[in-house]
Amino acid sequence: MLNLSSKGIKNQEAWKNKNIELPNFSYEEMIQNTKDNPTWVHFGSGNIFRGFIAALEQTLLNSGKEESGIVAVETYDYEIIDKIYSPFDNLSLQVIMKPDGKLKNTVIASIAESIAADTERKDNWTRLNSIFTKPSLKMISFTITEKGYNLKSLSGDFSAEVQQDIKNGPANPSNVMSKVTSLLYTRFKAGKLPLAVVSMDNCSHNGEKLYNAINTIATKWSENNLVEKEFVAYVNDATKVTFPWSMIDKITPRPSAIVEKKLTKLGIENLSPIITGKHTYIAPFVNAEGPQYLVIEDNFPNGRPALEDAGVYFTNRETVERVERMKVCTCLNPLHTSMAVFGCILGYTLIADEMEDECISALVNKIGYEEGMPVVTDPQILNPMDFIKEVIEVRLPNPFIPDTPQRIATDTSQKVGIRFGETIKEYVKRADLDVTSLKYIPLVIAGWCRYLLCVDDEGKKFEISSDPLLGTLKEYLSEIKLGQKYIKGTLKPILSNKNIFGSDLYEIGLGEKIENYFEEMLAGPKAVRNTLIKYLK
């Protein structure tokens, strides 16, 4: 049997006989080098980190271009450290799921140390602060999801946790952004040491969101005389602290039962996934697709790893934003959302299966190539046509990526303004485009409203994914019933909401069109399918 541990991987022949790639460097030396001279701390220890970012560092370690690894820090779900990192000596197994069903398996050993950012775990918090005093530290990075940067509740006020942190100062923070600000204060006190603070989360202007949160807390502490004013100046001194923007793209879904079965068959022990008390689905392995992209603004005041040698694109902020817009507004995310809402209504539970559906396949092609591509600004470092071709022909149809429309449909009210609203605004703004010519984006918006009725295309109730505006949206739709006459204007509170779509869709000539599509989808069972056939076949 194969054991995923520092001792277990010493039996190299056994792993290689199973065609599992091992690290090509001394694991023990890497740990010692990291302890002596840490260079990279990463916050957020989930699948995208282990399956993508840690693997980048392993490439550099394998080639001798780096000598130290990454310090992984968990800020939210400490069970991940206790049950997935510590028992396996911080090793994990990266499993690339190819479209032909073959797996490429690699032991990832670039994580030197794992820490729970829990102030109640005194040893952990002391160690983390010690790392931040080291001149060798070049960068800290984040995959904590977009919610991690939000300091305020839905009411617009600071959350109770953040209010408490603002009152208490840097000594015993609770919120993740407060903790990072406290650690930066430690670095400031150690001699105003330079550092790049890099969000790698999948959200637009991620570096700006990270800066705003940290600067807000630092400023509040200064106003309350809990830190020196010079600390705020340090956070805002681009020769000392930077907040580069980035774009990340790689699908690392929940652990697949198929993958677990195949790995167990190879003889690897103890790989069963766990569900933590905070509902994190995680395993000692990470199953992921092969294609991956990471584009980072090259602004590192204390140097950085040579990640370009591992396939990372370094560029300027403007180019990062163009790549982000290309992906989020045209070439990937709008296609995902389109598949999510119709997939749920039509009873699909796997994204790949939807690509076998002629209507849905036609829809994503038309939204991407016909309606989205005219507004894309070519970022030059990635070709938009090549990118979308790979998405539609390789990534979405991959039957071995266990991604679901139900997962992607989560928080759709927070996404449609970017995924469709930005394209709509470009059509309004540009003289060479006519916003009223849009057909397929309005069809998806109508489909999302139909999805919110919680009734599938057979007329059966189904549970829709979580969304912060769900209660309000369902209230607007409460009088609408499948098979009953639709009263014009019922959707107006939703479609005119600029906070959702970025525009009043009636003012720009799309509101009535969306209502007409929606009315057709309400005719009765099979009405959604018939509407798709009418406009797509």
Cβ neighbours of residue 432 closer than 8 Å, sequence gap 6 or more: none
- The residues pairing with 248 across neighbouring beta strands, listed in sequence order, are 294
CA distances from 222 to 225, 315, 321, 395, 466 (A): 5, 34, 32, 48, 38
319 pLDDT above the threshold of 90: yes
155 pLDDT above the threshold of 90: no
For 249, the enclosing helix (H) or strand (E) is strand 246-249
400 pLDDT above the threshold of 90: no
| Mean of pLDDT values over 89-101 | 95
* Single-letter residue type at 231: F
432 pLDDT above the threshold of 80: yes
Instruction: For residues 168 and 174, give the distance between their C-alpha atoms in angstroms, rounded to a whole number.
Output: 10
If DSSP codes are grouped into helix, strand and coil, which group holds residue 504?
Answer: coil
* Single-letter residue type at 164: Q
* pLDDT cut 70: percent of the chain above it: 100
The predicted structure's pLDDT at residue 203? 84
If DSSP codes are grouped into helix, strand and coil, which group holds residue 232?
Answer: helix
| Mean of pLDDT values over 520-525 | 97
345 pLDDT above the threshold of 90: yes
For 314, the enclosing helix (H) or strand (E) is strand 313-315
Q: Select from 414, 430, 412, 444 the least CA-distant residue to 510.
A: 444
* pLDDT cut 90: percent of the chain above it: 94
Query: Which band of pLDDT confidence, cut at 50, 70 and 90, is reported for residue 5?
Result: very high
Instruction: For residues 106 and 108, give the distance between their C-alpha atoms in angstroms, rounded to a whole number.
Output: 6
Mean pLDDT estimate for the chain: 96
pLDDT one-digit tens code per residue, 222-240 = 999 999 999 999 999 999 9
Query: Which band of pLDDT confidence, cut at 50, 70 and 90, is reported for residue 403?
Result: confident
| Mean of pLDDT values over 528-533 | 98
CA distances from 465 to 1, 139, 341, 408 (A): 40, 36, 10, 9
Instruction: For residues 7 and 27, give the distance between their C-alpha atoms in angstroms, rounded to a whole number.
Output: 10
pLDDT one-digit tens code per residue, 167-225 = 999 999 999 999 999 999 999 999 999 999 999 998 889 999 999 999 999 999 999 99
pTM surpassing 0.85? Answer: yes
Would strands 103-108 and 20-21 be described as parallel, antiparallel, or unpaired? Answer: parallel
How many residues make up the chain in this entry? 537
Q: Select from 270, 281, 187 the least CA-distant residue to 235.
A: 187
154 pLDDT above the threshold of 80: no
Instruction: For residues 145 and 149, give the distance between their C-alpha atoms in angstroms, rounded to a whole number.
Output: 8
Using the Cα atoms of residue 98, residue 103, residue 109 and residue 111 in order, give the sign of their dihedral.
positive
The predicted structure's pLDDT at residue 153? 81
DSSP codes of every residue in 64-125: TS-S--EEEEESS-THHIIIIIGGGTT-EEEEEE-TTS-EEEEEE--EEEEEE--TTSHHHH
Q: Which phi and psi angles does 306 have, rounded to 5°?
A: -80, 60
The predicted structure's pLDDT at residue 156? 84
